[in-house]
Structure 1
Amino acid sequence: MPSIVIKPDRYRDLYVYWSTVVEAPVAWGDRAFMRDHLAEEWRRKHPGATPDRLSDPARRIDRADACGTSAAGGYSFFGRWDDDGFVYEQRGILPRRHLARACELLEAERESEVWDLLEPFEHELEVRRG
């Protein structure tokens, strides 16, 4: 599960492609953008193949609409609607409510401001910076 689609808000047409490797958003956009992004990534990684039931771009987005996440199988807990936040680059916890804003800041190349949105890890007093 190196990357999943997370829908930050049930009622907003925004989908975030979250890397579980770097623990951060790597792409974001509306439903059409995400469908195209996922399809292109699939074609690049699997030339000539047809997506299976779990990796089909439309189904991944549908799972994100329904559950808050495209994660399936043993990883289906990650990013669900009741998941309040995500570990961000081992710096702290990015609350789900700030995920859309974090993407806006990343797009504007203002990553240090994303750190201001983070909450410290449990038993830590501050977010890990720079």
Structure 2
Amino acid sequence: MPQLVIKPARHRDEYVVWSTVTETPVTYGCRRYMTRWLAADRARHVEQERPLARLRRADRLGSSAYPQWGDGHWDDDIQIYEQRGILHRRDLYRAARLACAGRDAEVWDLLEPFEDETEVRRG
């Protein structure tokens, strides 16, 4: 599954479509926006599941990944961002807004270096 729908926080109407290929956000928004975006994306990629099924799973599990895969679920606090560093779930929605606006350096400021490194990989 190249794209997941992740719900960063249980109590907020915020969703992020995350590319597992590029390790970056594709888009972000509220449930209403996401339903429309996912429907349009499904029209281009027929094999994708219905938008509401993906959103319901994200509401329940934290991401649209099936339970056996677990990527992005509530107990998964981090995402690797472009092999540059670690992005915590609490910063995911903000990072998506910044990345989609082309403000990459500000996204990198949100990252934590990998365990064996002292700095986030930039530029």
TM-score, with length taken from structure 1: 0.88
SS at match of 1:114: helix
SS at match of 1:126: coil
Is residue 2:92 matched to residue 1:108? no
Gaps of 5+ in 1: none
Is residue 2:122 matched to residue 1:122? no
User: Which structure has the larger Rg over C-alpha atoms?
Assistant: 1
SS at match of 1:38: helix
In structure 2, C-alpha distance between the alignment counterparts of 1:101 and 1:27, rounded to whole Å = 11
1:23 counterpart residue number: 23
1:65 counterpart residue number: 59
Is residue 2:23 matched to residue 1:33? no
1:95 counterpart residue number: 88
In structure 2, C-alpha distance between the alignment counterparts of 1:73 and 1:56, rounded to whole Å = 17
Per the alignment, do residues 123 and 10 of structure 1 end up closer, same or farther by CA in structure 2, a change over 3 Å counting? same
1:11 counterpart residue number: 11
RMSD: 1.5
* Aligned length, in residue pairs: 123
Q: Give the Å deviation of 1:94.
A: 0.4
Give structure 1 regions of 4+ aligned residues with deviation exceeding 4 angstroms: none
Gaps of 5+ in 2: none
Q: Give the Å deviation of 1:101.
A: 1.4
1:42 counterpart residue number: 42
Q: Give the Å deviation of 1:122.
A: 1.6
Q: Give the Å deviation of 1:92.
A: 0.5
TM-score, with length taken from structure 2: 0.93
Percent of aligned positions that are identical: 55
